[in-house]
C-alpha cells in the first residue's frame, strides 16, 4: 500500500535520514520509534508531503506521490492525519468539526454529513456528544473526536503524530482502543510515538529509527524483547531509565520529585510507589547530601522502570562518604521507618568511591 | 507553605497549609517558636496539611515536649494520608489526635 524507496531528507546540511526503504501493507499498524530529533515525525510528514523529501520515492497504491504530475490532493484524500494536540476548531461544536471537511471538500450534503458524523461519534464512544464544545472535553475525548473527524473523509491510511503524548495516562486506553478498532476495519495506520508501552500494545510492526536510517524493524515482541542490534538494546534500556546527577549545591527536591513522578507515570505503577518519591527526597537524599558535617560530595540517581511489571528500582550512588548512608550520622530510625514503609526493601553497599543505595519499589 | 496562626489569650491555633517537609519545616518551627512562650493550649489544625516528612514530625515532637511541661497540645482534622504517616512512625501514640 505504501512503498518508500531510498528516501533521504536533509535540513540545510544535516542529514535527518538517508536511503530509507519501508513497505507498509494494507491493514498494518506500523509504529515508528526512535530518539528525539531522529526524524520520526519528519518521515511521517513526508508520507503526505507536508514535508518534501530531498530524494527517493514514495508510492501509494503504485502511484508515485513525489512525481511532478501527481494530483497530491487526490492522494491526500486517501490519508488522514491525527495530531498530538488534536487541532480541533475550538469555536465549532464537536459535530461541526466533523462535518466541515465532508461538506466543504467532498461535497456531501449537510444531512448526510450529520448522519454519518453521529455514527462516527458512536464508533469512537462519543455518542450524544455532538453539541459539546471541544473546550468541555477531556484530552482523550478530544482525540477521539479528532479521529472521528479524520474518519469522516473515509481515509485508507491514517497518520498519527504522537497521538497519546498530550494525554493523561488514564486516557491513553480509550484512544488506544479506538485506534485498534481502525486496524480491525482494514485501515492502515502509521504511528509516531515516544511511548514505548503504547507502541508495544498497538503495533503490528515496529520500526526503530537511529543513525540516520531504519536501524531495526520487526513485530513488537521481537523488537522489544529480543532486539538484535546493540543500538536498539541501548535505546530500549535508556528509555526505561531516568538518570540525574545530584550535588548538594544544586539539589532541588521539588523539581526532582516531580520529574521522577512524571517518568514513573509512563509505566505501570502503584500509589505507594508514587508516595515513595517525596519520601526518598526528604528521608534519604536531603539528609545525606545536605548533612551539616559530612555531606556526600555528589550522587547519581537512576530510576529503572520495568516494562512488564510494576517492580521498579531506584539506585543512588553517593560519592565522597566513608560510612553507610542508611546509618547514623545520616539517617535515624524515623527516616528509615518512612523509607521502609513505602519501599519493598532498601539496601546499601560499599563501592570504591562511596556507597550505593538500592531501593526496590515494590 | 502558608501558616495561619490564631492567638486567643494563652490558646494558640496553628494551621499549616501544604507540605511540611525538609524545605518548609524550618520556617514552621521558627513561626511556632515566636508565639510559644505564654501558650498553655496549643492546637494544630491540619485540615490543609497534605504531606509531612520526618523534619515536620520532629517539629511536632519538640512542640509536644515543650507543651508537656506547661499545658496541652492537640492535633485536629488530620487527613488520612497524614494519619498514615503518624501510624507508621508511632507518632499516633505520642501525639493527641482528635
Find the mean pLDDT for residues A40-47. Answer: 94
Contacts of B89 in chain A (CB under 8 A): 334, 337-338
Which pLDDT tens digit goes with each residue over A63-75? 899 988 888 888 8
Q: For residue A196, give the C-alpha cell.
A: 514505548
B93 touches chain A (CB under 8 A): no
H or E element: which one contains A240?
Answer: none
Which pLDDT tens digit goes with each residue over A120-166? 999 899 999 999 999 999 999 999 999 999 999 999 999 999 999 88
* Total number of domains constituting chain A: 2
- Greatest CA separation for chain B: 35
Contact A133, A93 (CB under 8 A): yes
Statement to judge: residues A176 and A247 lie in one domain: no
Q: What is the CATH number of the domain that holds A115?
A: 3.40.50.300
Task: Grade residue B69 by pLDDT with cuts at 50, 70 and 90.
Answer: very high
Statement to judge: residues A293 and A164 lie in one domain: no
Q: For residue A339, give the C-alpha cell.
A: 523509607
B26 touches chain A (CB under 8 A): no
Q: What is the dihedral of CA A82, A84, A90, A96, to 10 degrees?
A: 20
CATH topology of domain B2-94: Transcription Regulator spoIIAA (3.30.750)
Statement to judge: residues A199 and A329 lie in one domain: no
Contact A70, A63 (CB under 8 A): yes
Which pLDDT tens digit goes with each residue over B9-38? 999 999 999 999 999 999 999 999 988 888
Statement to judge: residues A85 and A149 lie in one domain: yes
* pLDDT at A169 > cutoff 80: no
Statement to judge: residues A125 and A86 lie in one domain: yes
Measured at the CA of A211, the angle between CA A209 and CA A215, to 5 degrees, comes to 45
B94 touches chain A (CB under 8 A): no
What residue ranges do the domains of chain B occupy? Answer: 2-94
Neighbours of A327 (CB within 10 A): 11
| Residue contact A335–B22, C-beta within 8 A | no
Q: Shortest CA distance to B13 belongs to which of B92, B72, B85?
A: B72
Q: Shortest CA distance to A285 belongs to which of B53, B52, B67?
A: B53
* pLDDT at A207 > cutoff 90: yes
Statement to judge: residues A157 and A83 lie in one domain: yes
Statement to judge: residues A24 and A115 lie in one domain: yes
Contact A325, A284 (CB under 8 A): yes
Statement to judge: residues A95 and A180 lie in one domain: yes
Alpha carbon A339 to chain centroid, angstroms: 31
pLDDT value, residue A259: 92
B3 touches chain A (CB under 8 A): no
Q: Which pairing describes strands A157-161 and A188-192: parallel, antiparallel, or unpaired?
A: parallel
Proportion of chain A above pLDDT 90, given as a percent: 77
Task: Grade residue A306 by pLDDT with cuts at 50, 70 and 90.
Answer: confident
Domain end call among A194, A216, A237: A237
* Cis omega (within 30 of 0) for bond into A329: yes
Domain end call among A237, A268, A288: A237
Q: Shortest CA distance to A299 belongs to which of A314, A282, A316?
A: A316
pLDDT value, residue A68: 85
Q: For residue A342, give the C-alpha cell.
A: 513505602
pLDDT value, residue A193: 94
Statement to judge: residues A89 and A143 lie in one domain: yes
Distance between CA atoms of A235 and A163, rounded to whole angstroms? 21
* pLDDT at A308 > cutoff 80: no
Range of the domain at A136: 2-237
Q: Is the pTM of this model over 0.90?
A: no
Distance between CA atoms of A75 and A83, rounded to whole angstroms? 19
CA of A276, closest CA in chain B: separation in Å? 11
Q: What is the dihedral of CA A219, A31, A166, A103, to 10 degrees?
A: -130
Statement to judge: residues A119 and A91 lie in one domain: yes
3-state secondary structure of A299: strand
Distance between CA atoms of A31 and A29, rounded to whole angstroms? 6
Q: What is the dihedral of CA A139, A140, A146, A149, to 10 degrees?
A: -140
| Residue contact B54–A278, C-beta within 8 A | no
Distance between CA atoms of A239 and A267, rounded to whole angstroms? 11
* pLDDT at A170 > cutoff 80: no
H or E element: which one contains B36?
Answer: helix B25-36
A330 touches chain B (CB under 8 A): no
Instruction: Say which residue the cell 496549643 belongs to.
Output: B42
Q: For residue A132, give the C-alpha cell.
A: 459539546
Statement to judge: residues A124 and A185 lie in one domain: yes
CA of A254, closest CA in chain B: separation in Å? 9
Domain end call among A237, A261, A295: A237
Better-predicted residue by pLDDT, A308 or A109: A109
Statement to judge: residues A265 and A191 lie in one domain: no
* pLDDT at A109 > cutoff 90: yes
pLDDT value, residue B7: 92
Amino acid at each position: 500500500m505504501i512503498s518508500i524507496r531510498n528516501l533521504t531528507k536533509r535540513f540545510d546540511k544535516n542529514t535527518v535520514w538517508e536511503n530509507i526503504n519501508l513497505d507498509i501493507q494494507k491493514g498494518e499498524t506500523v509504529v515508528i520509534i526512535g530518539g528525539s530529533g531522529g526524524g520520526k515525525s519528519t518521515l511521517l510528514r513526508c508520507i503526505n508531503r507536508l514535508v518534501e523529501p530531498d530524494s527517493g520515492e514514495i508510492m501509494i497504491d503504485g502511484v508515485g506521490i513525489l512525481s511532478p504530475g501527481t494530483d497530491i490532493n487526490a492522494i491526500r484524500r486517501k490519508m488522514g492525519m491525527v495530531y498530538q494536540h488534536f487541532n480541533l476548531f475550538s469555536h465549532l461544536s464537536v459535530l461541526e468539526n466533523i462535518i466541515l471537511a465532508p461538506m466543504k471538500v467532498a461535497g456531501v450534503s449537510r444531512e448526510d454529513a450529520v448522519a454519518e458524523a453521529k455514527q462516527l461519534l458512536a464508533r469512537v464512544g462519543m455518542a450524544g456528544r455532538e453539541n459539546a464544545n471541544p473546550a468541555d472535553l477531556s484530552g482523550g475525548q478530544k482525540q477521539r473526536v479528532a479521529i472521528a473527524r479524520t474518519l469522516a473523509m473515509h481515509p485508507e491510511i491514517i497518520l498519527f503524530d504522537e497521538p497519546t503524548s498530550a494525554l493523561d495516562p488514564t486516557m491513553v486506553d480509550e484512544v488506544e482502543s479506538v485506534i485498534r478498532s481502525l486496524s480491525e476495519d482494514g485501515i492502515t495506520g502509521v504511528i509516531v510515538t515516544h511511548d514505548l508501552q503504547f507502541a508495544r500494545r498497538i503495533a503490528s510492526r515496529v520500526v526503530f529509527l537511529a543513525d540516520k536510517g531504519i536501524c531495526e524493524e520487526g513485530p513488537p515482541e521481537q523488537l522489544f524483547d529480543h532486539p538484535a542490534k546493540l543500538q536498539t538494546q541501548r535505546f530500549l534500556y535508556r528509555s526505561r531509565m531516568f538518570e540525574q546527577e545530584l550535588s548538594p549545591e544544586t539539589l532541588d527536591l521539588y523539581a526532582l520529585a516531580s520529574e521522577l513522578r512524571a517518568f514513573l507515570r509512563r509505566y505501570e505503577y502503584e500509589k505507594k510507589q508514587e508516595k515513595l518519591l517525596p519520601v526518598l527526597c526528604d528521608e534519604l537524599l536531603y539528609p545525606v547530601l545536605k548533612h551539616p558535617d559530612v555531606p556526600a560530595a555528589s550522587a547519581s540517581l537512576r530510576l529503572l522502570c520495568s516494562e512488564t511489571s510494576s517492580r521498579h528500582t531506584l539506585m543512588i550512588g553517593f560519592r565522597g562518604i566513608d560510612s553507610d548512608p542508611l546509618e547514623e550520622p545520616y539517617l535515624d530510625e524515623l527516616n528509615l521507618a518512612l523509607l521502609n514503609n513505602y519501599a519493598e526493601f532498601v539496601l546499601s553497599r560499599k563501592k570504591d568511591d562511596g556507597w550505593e543505595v538500592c531501593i526496590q519499589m515494590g | 507553605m502558608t501558616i495561619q496562626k490564631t492567638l486567643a489569650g494563652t490558646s494558640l491555633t496553628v494551621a499549616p497549609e501544604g507540605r511540611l517537609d525538609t524545605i518548609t519545616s524550618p520556617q514552621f518551627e521558627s513561626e511556632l517558636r515566636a508565639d510559644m512562650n505564654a501558650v498553655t493550649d496549643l492546637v494544630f489544625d491540619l485540615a490543609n496539611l497534605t504531606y509531612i516528612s520526618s523534619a515536620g514530625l520532629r517539629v511536632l515532637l519538640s512542640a509536644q515536649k515543650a507543651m508537656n511541661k506547661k499545658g496541652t497540645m492537640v492535633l485536629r482534622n488530620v487527613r488520612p494520608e497524614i494519619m498514615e504517616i503518624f501510624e507508621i512512625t508511632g507518632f499516633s501514640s505520642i501525639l493527641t489526635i482528635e
